[in-house]
């Protein structure tokens, strides 16, 4: 079902698409930024709770600065020095996080209106054509993002990208989750499990050093489910640098597999994360502050948590990381799913 989602500053009208299943779950996505806007999940008492932080309309997403619900690209996360060399040529990007590039600079995909290719009550396909040189990257790209909702309360995000020239690419979704419901306090008592024996060490600017470190014996260990807040303020270098959890975990195994799980302490709703990507950036909303969200709620520090499935940050500068390069003529297809379970 398509609904009006408001008007942007330039006068362009934006749409909202509602996906539904027979279990009473609803998910809403918008062609503005191919953004995931909401996930209404009935709790054990049948009361629908919105699992996602967000805004009431397109104007809120246009003004927002926290990439809430956004499809982030062309390259998510950080690139050191805001430049990289590919095939002997150096490409310079916008420096928007100190001397580095974060989420590909200010001209981001989530601030663009995507074309809606197809839609029905269970899925929507958005498409964006990104020209050669866009955001500083080589290659014209055609990118499709498909959202689909099934009868098992699983919201799948499928990415498809092809390029006219060799380039680098690493897209993700930047949804902030609160399994008690958006606006219902912080996420510190949510319990999290992550299938990761290691994480990528980063410096004070969140740029990877290239080291892949064991989580064992550190606050980064989520192999046994534990509350987010149990160790988040420990005197541990990675947590000091990140002001809490904001790091890339190396997901065990290969191929499409379960990567993480989180349970709301008040709702009893669990979300499972599945992906074929090598890493997941878990960000505990450490820098949220007075962000005016849905229904006038002010989102504060740690009121939402992100599970950004991805290639490793700054992978183009580290030969021991999975390559972010897509070759001319190749097609990249990847999928991530978020499954909601009521216990």
Sorted by sequence, the CB contacts under 8 Å of residue 319 that are 6+ apart come out as none
Strands (E), 74-134: 78-79, 83-86, 89-92, 101-102, 115-119, 123-130
Closest Cα partner for 142 from 157, 154, 156, 125? 125
Whether 247 is a known active-site residue: answer no
Which residue among the candidates 103, 174, 190, 247 is catalytic per the annotation? 174
Residue 305 in 3-state DSSP?
A: strand
Which residue among the candidates 162, 272, 308, 318 is catalytic per the annotation? 308
**CA within 13 Å, CB half, 103:** 18
Q: Cα-flanking dihedrals φ and ψ of residue 26, to 5°?
A: -130, 140
Sorted by sequence, the CB contacts under 8 Å of residue 54 that are 6+ apart come out as 37, 38, 60, 61, 68, 69, 182, 293, 294
Whether 174 is a known active-site residue: answer yes
Sorted by sequence, the CB contacts under 8 Å of residue 304 that are 6+ apart come out as 53, 68, 176, 177, 178, 182, 187, 285, 288
Catalytically active residues are 174, 308
């Amino acid at each position: 079902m398509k609904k009006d989602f408001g008007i942007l500053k330039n006068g362009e009208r934006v749409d909202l698409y509602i996906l539904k299943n027979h279990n009473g779950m609803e998910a809403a996505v918008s062609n503005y930024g191919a953004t995931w806007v909401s996930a209404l999940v009935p709790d054990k008492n049948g009361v629908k709770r919105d699992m996602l932080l967000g805004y009431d309309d397109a104007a809120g997403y246009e003004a927002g600065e926290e990439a809430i619900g956004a499809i982030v690209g062309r390259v998510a996360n950080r690139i050191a020095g805001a430049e990289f060399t590919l095939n002997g040529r150096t490409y310079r990007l916008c420096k928007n996080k100190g001397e580095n590039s974060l989420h590909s600079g200010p001209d981001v995909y989530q601030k663009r209106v995507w074309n809606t290719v197809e839609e029905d009550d269970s899925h929507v396909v958005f498409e964006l054509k990104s020209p050669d040189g866009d955001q500083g990257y080589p290659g014209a790209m055609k990118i499709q993002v498909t959202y689909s909702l099934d009868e098992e309360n699983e919201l799948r995000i499928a990415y498809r990208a092809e390029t006219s020239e060799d380039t680098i690419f690493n897209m993700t979704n930047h949804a902030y989750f609160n399994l008690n419901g958006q606006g219902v306090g912080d996420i510190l008592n949510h319990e999290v499990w992550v299938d990761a024996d290691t994480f990528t060490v980063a410096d004070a600017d969140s740029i990877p050093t290239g080291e892949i470190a064991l989580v064992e014996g550190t606050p980064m260990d989520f192999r046994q489910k534990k509350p987010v807040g149990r160790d988040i303020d420990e005197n541990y270098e990675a947590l000091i640098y990140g002001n809490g959890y904001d790091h890339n975990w190396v997901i065990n195994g290969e191929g499409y597999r379960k990567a993480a799980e989180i349970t709301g302490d008040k709702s009893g709703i669990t979300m499972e994360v599945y992906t074929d990507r090598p890493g997941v950036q878990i960000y505990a909303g450490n820098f949220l502050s007075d962000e005016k969200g849905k229904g006038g709620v002010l989102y504060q520090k740690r009121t939402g948590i992100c599970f950004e499935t991805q290639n490793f940050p700054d992978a183009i500068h580290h030969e021991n990381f999975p390559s972010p390069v897509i070759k001319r003529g190749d097609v990249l297809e990847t999928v991530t799913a978020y499954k909601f379970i009521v216990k």
